[in-house]
Amino acid sequence: MSKPYQHIPIAECGEPLVAITDQIPKILPHPYISLGAPYGDRSPFFVRQSILNKLLQSQAYLQTIHPHWKIAIFDAYRPISVQQFMVDYSFEQLATSQGLAISNLTKSQKDTLMTEVMKFWATPSHDLKTPPPHSTGAAIDVTLLDSEFLEVNMGSPIDEISDRSLPDYFANSIDSQEIKFHRDRQLLNQVMRHSGFQRHPNEWWHFSYGDQLWAWVSDQNLAIYGRK
């Protein structure tokens, strides 16, 4: 399934992938590795150099608002093989959650399920003109840790395939807990945008800079990061 940002041309800048430093906490064990995703000799905790620099800037800005809070990395770089693995896994999980057997799905059921999955997952395209954002090293999935090093409850887990994942899902709630969910999502967006990241329209946790999705959200006509 094509995405609206995939028409944007890429002028690859050649910036290297680098390891995310220990200054940025990581959610461990890494969830996709735990599922058996085929990373090979690649690591999910790599990004382009500028992405790391901007992430550190956002971390520093967060601590001017909430001393001792930190941005935590859930996921970053993904080979295409991992993107395909996670799309397939998410499809199977969604079918199971609806009481559907994979072997008995009709075409209509398959199409409906895949449409839902692809609201949150990029197409695992091998075409160099249409790389998944995470396969460029420009996209990161992040959350917040509080001063006790505990994950802040953002109202839904990362990767949940439901409307609760939409960034503004709780925006109009009058429930005190849900108001807090929205406030913390807004805080995350604020600190990430401070250094130039843009948020995925459907995912409160996904931010990127320099890839096609970033260019599309930013009204830019060129991406600077292609597939790595």
Q: Could you count the other beta carbons within 10 Å of the beta carbon of residue 41?
A: 5
Dig out the tokens for 45 from the structure. 């905790």
Residues whose CB falls within 8 Å of the CB of residue 105, separated by 6 or more in sequence, listed in order? 95, 113
Beta strands at 206-208 and 139-145: parallel, antiparallel or unpaired: antiparallel
Is residue 72 within 8 Å of 146, Cβ to Cβ? no
| Residue 160 annotated in active site | no
Which residues share a beta bridge with 70? 145
Q: What is the dihedral of CA 17, 19, 25, 28, to 10 degrees?
A: 100
Is residue 220 within 8 Å of 9, Cβ to Cβ? no
One of 92, 160, 178, 203 is an active-site residue; which one? 203
Residues that are catalytic: 203
